[in-house]
Chains A and B, each alone.
Chain A
Amino acid sequence: QKEVEQNSGPLSVPEGAIASLNCTYSDRVSQSFFWYRQYSGKSPELIMSIYSNGDKEDGRFTAQLNKASQYVSLLIRDSQPSDSATYLCAVNEDYKLSFGAGTTVTVRA
């Protein structure tokens, strides 16, 4: 069974700190990986996509992918209260997405 697992939350970080989110997946053939942010009562919003090993940076967000370890992570630098949300790791398998359960992040002002 294909699985996507995220580190359990909730994760509470002070404003300005780095929030680190982890995700592991079981399907070795997966090629596309995504991080979505979901605010309470809203639909998911794509914040990062990563397709090859290494780091990908976009503003305050950095995604890291290690296909050999089947691991993908998301770092949020200089965390802001507006970053408080649930972050969903998603892995593309046969064009369908498998989602992790999500990690809820709370940024304390």
Chain B
Amino acid sequence: GAVVSQHPSWVICKSGTSVKIECRSLDFQATTMFWYRQFPKQSLMLMATSNEGSKATYEQGVEKDKFLINHASLTLSTLTVTSAHPEDSSFYICSAISTSNQPQHFGDGTRLSIL
């Protein structure tokens, strides 16, 4: 089946640090990748949609200058949380699809803790 790899799985860092999370599709070309955030006891909230070679589309309320997304190839997208603060602490999950009607396959997620 489709495999999506996400790194790192766990990050603990000081307030003000920028953190980069990588999402890779290992066995298929991902035309579109998605970034979600999930707070405890809540469902997934879509942050942005990223297509290879173009600018990401951010959901309402998500700051594009704080959450930088780069989708440089058909197998790699990165999310950079710039100048992270404790309120950015969350579970960040990426997913990828090859065609629009196919199910999204999720990475293992990155648990971000900002001290």
Contacts and interface: CB of A to CB of B under 8 A. Distances in A.
Interface stretch (B14-22, B65-73, B77-85, B101-109): B101-109
Contacts of B6: 43
A13 to B, nearest CB: 21
Contacts, number: 49
Given A43-B107, A43-B108, A96-B34, A32 B101 contact: yes
Chain A interface secondary structure, helix, strand, loop or mixed?
A: strand
Given A95-B32, A101-B43, A45 B106 contact: yes
Q: Which of B6, B46, B97, B106 has the largest number of chain A CB atoms within 10 A?
A: B106
A97 B46 contact: yes
A97 B102 CA distance: 11
Contact of B43 (A32, A88, A95, A96): A88
Nearest to A97: B104
Contact of B44 (A42, A92, A95, A99): A99
Nearest to B32: A95
B106 A34 contact: no
B109 A43 contact: yes
